[in-house]
Structure 1
Amino acid sequence: MPARVDPCLAMLVDRPPPGPDWAFEVKWDGYRLAVHIEPSRVRIITRGGYDWTDRFPSIAAEARLLGLKTAILDGEAVVLDGHGRSDFGMLQRALGRLPTTQGPGEIILYTFDLLYLDGCDLRRLPQRERRRLLEQVVPVDRNGAIRLSEEVPADGDEFLRVACAHGIEGIVAKHHERPYRSGRRPDWLKITCTRRDSFAIVGFEPSTVPGAIGRLLLAARRGGELVYVGGCGTGWTQAESRKLREVLQEIATDSPAVKLKRKSAVFCEPVLVAEVEYRAWTDEGKLRHPSFKGIRERADDATVYELK
């Protein structure tokens, strides 16, 4: 049994692929995890290879109840809002990163692939066969902390339209006949309703509300440098805004990481990465309608967006 498997990552495309060779699922908005079930323990490994078992106690406890000797489940840890949609901000609050009344017991793992089962490495099998075995391990009607990410038998364009109308981040398409291959490959494709990427936080502008943030100042990479790509002023509660300001003030600096002059700005060391949803890029190279979704960690393989 492998100690770790680098995950298969979906390539971003503009439209769903046509034809009967593709399976479609909801694109979940959370933390990508691999659950390793071993004879004497359960390990929960992030996309970046870090052991986060202690952060997901309900998922680890339920994995022990699946009745498997050895297995590796691939999935996404999420928290659902009142409409059944995954919400990254709610997940961060449940993990204790932002103020909340939610707890880790609300976190669900939607599993969508099975890489190893009872002594057998399944990665060379086609996706349809791995899926058949996964549905035996995690049935469609299973509730609790570990659930099945269902395949939707629909036309890709129509499924994307409905997903976007319901406020879902997007959809994922997986080729039925492909094996599981680590890295970003065209075996899996993602189609999003809005764009979403990670940007370095290089400072903030104070809010008129005492102790809060008015705008985060964001940067992308170009070569070996950081380039300012605009400010983000929405996506947080007042409590979250005050917490962010406290954190950023602790890493304030007099040497900005980008070429930017703002009279009221407080610049900080570019060590935190913000997950941001946005519509498009302006002609001036700035984010259009950005909204803050949370802080990504390096343990989740957070990478700053690279400008072409």
Structure 2
Amino acid sequence: MTDRPRSKPLLADDKPVKGRIRKRRDPAQPNLLLDPMPHRVEPALALLQPKPPSDPRFIAELKFDGYRLAIHVEPSGVRVLTRGGHDWTARFPAIAEEAKTLGVASAILDGEAVVLDEQGRSDFGALQQSLGGRGGKLKSSEALFFAFDLLYLDGHDLRDMELSSRRHLLEELLVGQEGPIRFSEEIEGDGNAIFNASCEHGLEGVIFKDPDSPYRTGRTGDWLKVKCIQSESFFVIGYERSSVARGGVGSLLLAARKGDDLQYVGSVGTGFKEKVAIQLRETLDKLESRKPPVSYGGRRKNVVWAQPTLIAEIEYRAWTDDGKLRHASFKGLREVQDNAAVYEIHD
């Protein structure tokens, strides 16, 4: 067997290595194509469905109950944007710091910020309180960001790529991450079985996604959501005074959109503790209105009407025959910057 030839040393004793003088780039030679990084991307949204899809191709993820966010990792730093495009980087400092350690030059991660309860379930009220309530200025040290999509990576716009490939890249990016930023795992199995199990464990529901779909803004049907318990956003249009209830608030009066008007959809008297009730009363008193902002034929006493400014997330079981919420429970107030869609009634 012959010996492998030895490589010549880079530096010889008598002749130093000299590089060739580079010629100017030929203007006719094409540049390496890189996609400009979007300043902001309108999010893809899940379409509400009464039951899981029958298509076995659809992948399943747990539905989180928090704030939809996009993390932009840029050469100049990190931005954390709300669904409405507002910069909340300062409100989630731990998430922003974690994003700096991902080892990429540029990226856009789509996901949701949550606070988990003792059972590991996302708790919207706890997230709100960690931020100081609606309009609060606290920095949440408890929030986690569960990333479920990757829209841009190191100069390449991935939105036209199929979801399965985007999630593969995202999983590789987040492998081993157990800090504030985590990968939203896919749940394997039959869609109906996954949904039933999530409801049995008291979870929000399940998101089903077409693995072959590109990333498209809005409710296109590529993503579907099936909820265990109904939860929607409504305007708070007043409250009923009470000398018995904690905080002096007997119930909150709610309204939904109907065309260009609002329609009264009932009230909610559970789900808020004394501290939250006091904050609600003080805020609504500042928004007090002499006239009800909706057509109201009720007989409630001691009602304080308010301008329809506050948006509340309400959990409920069903609708009554006369268009009112049944078994409603208050979960928390939505931020204006969250761009939450108020429930709309269609004829």
The TM-score normalised by the length of structure 1 is: 0.96
Partner of 1:152: 187
* 1:139-184 Cα shifts (integer Å, max 9, x gaps): 2x52110001100111110010010011101000011111111111
- Corresponding residue to 2:102 among 32, 53, 66: 66
Query: Partner letter of residue 127 of structure 1?
Result: L
Instruction: Measure the CA separation in 1 of the matches of 2:103 and 2:247.
Output: 51
Deviates more, 1:261-270 or 1:54-63: 261-270
Counterpart residue number, 1:126: 162
Greater displacement, 67-76 / 243-252: 243-252
Match of 1:164 in 2: 199
* Structure-to-structure mapping, 1:11-50, within 5 angstroms: 11-50=47-86
Alignment of 1:187-202 (within 5 A): 187-202=222-237
For 2:341 and 2:51, locate their aligned partners in 1 and report how far apart those are by CA, in whole Å. Answer: 24
Range that drifts further, 123-132 or 252-261:
252-261
For residue 344 of structure 2, what is the amino acid of its counterpart? E
Paired position in structure 2 for 1:116: 152
Q: What is the distance in 1 between the residues matched to 2:125 and 2:96? A: 22
Amino acid at match of 2:280: L
Q: Between Structure 1 and Structure 2, which shows a larger proportion of strand residues?
A: 1
C-alpha separation between the residues in 2 aligned to 1:236 and 1:46? Answer: 25
Q: CA deviation at 1:254?
A: 0.9
Q: Whole-Å Cα distance in 2 between the matches of residues 275 and 216 of structure 1? A: 12
Distance 1:188 1:19 in 2: 12
1:301 correspondence with 2:336: no
Which of 313, 330, 333 lines up with 1:292 in the alignment? Answer: 330
2:239 matched residue in structure 1? 204
1:2 and 2:34 equivalent?
no
CA change 1:34–1:224 in 2 (3 A) is same
| Aligned-partner residue type, residue 179 of structure 1 | P
Q: Distance in 1 between matches of 2:336 and 2:282?
A: 21
Secondary structure in structure 1 of the residue aligned to 2:71? strand
Identity between Structure 1 and Structure 2 (%): 52
Residue ranges of structure 1 left out of the alignment (5+ in a row): none
For residues 248 and 278 of structure 1, the distance between their equivalents in structure 2, rounded to whole angstroms, comes to 22
| Segment of structure 1 superposing worse, 103-112 or 26-35 | 103-112
Q: CA deviation at 1:303?
A: 2.4
Assess, with a 3 A threshold, how the Cα gap between structure 1 residues 193 and 16 changes in structure 2: closer, same or farther: same
Between stretches 258-267 and 234-243, larger displacement belongs to 258-267
Match of 1:268 among 301, 306, 312: 306
Once the two structures are superposed, residues 115-158 of structure 1 have per-residue CA deviations (whole angstroms, 9 ceiling, x without a partner) of 0000000111101100110001112x521100011001111100
2:126 matched residue in structure 1: 90
Task: Kindly name which structure, 1 or 2, has the bigger radius of gyration based on alpha carbons.
Answer: 2
For these two proteins, the number of residue pairs brought into alignment is 306
2:26 corresponds in structure 1 to: none
User: 1:66 is matched by which residue type in structure 2?
Assistant: L
Report the CA distance between 1:103 and its aligned residue: 6.1
How far apart in 2 are the matches of 1:223 and 1:62? 43
Give the superposition deviation at 1:301: 1.1
Cα distance in 2 for partners of 1:103, 1:39 equals 24
Whether contact under 8 Å (2:91, 2:139) holds in the other structure is: no
User: Match for 1:220 among 222, 238, 256?
Assistant: 256
Q: Which amino acid letter does the alignment assign opposite residue 223 of structure 1?
A: G
- Counterpart-to-counterpart distance in 2, 1:181 and 1:19: 20
- 2:318–2:325 Cα contact (<8 Å) kept: yes
Q: Which residue does the alignment assign to 2:20?
A: none
- 1:235 matches 2:265: no
Give unmatched runs, 5+ long, in structure 2: 1-36
CA RMSD of aligned residues (A): 1.6
Please give the secondary structure, in 2, of the residue aligned with 1:235. Answer: coil
Equivalent position amino acid for 1:81 in 2: D
Shift of 1:239: 1.1
Answer with 204-213 or 277-286: which moved more: 204-213
CA distance, structure 2, for counterparts of residue 201 and residue 20 of structure 1: 41
> In 2, Cα distance between the equivalents of 1:24 and 1:171?
7
1:254 corresponding residue in structure 2:
290
- Per-residue deviation, 1:210: 6.0
In the aligned structure 2, how far is the partner of 1:5 from the partner of 1:53? 16
C-alpha distance in 1 between matches for 2:190 and 2:182? 24
Shift of 1:192: 0.3
For 2:274, give the aligned amino acid: Q
Quote the residue 2:321 is aligned against: 283
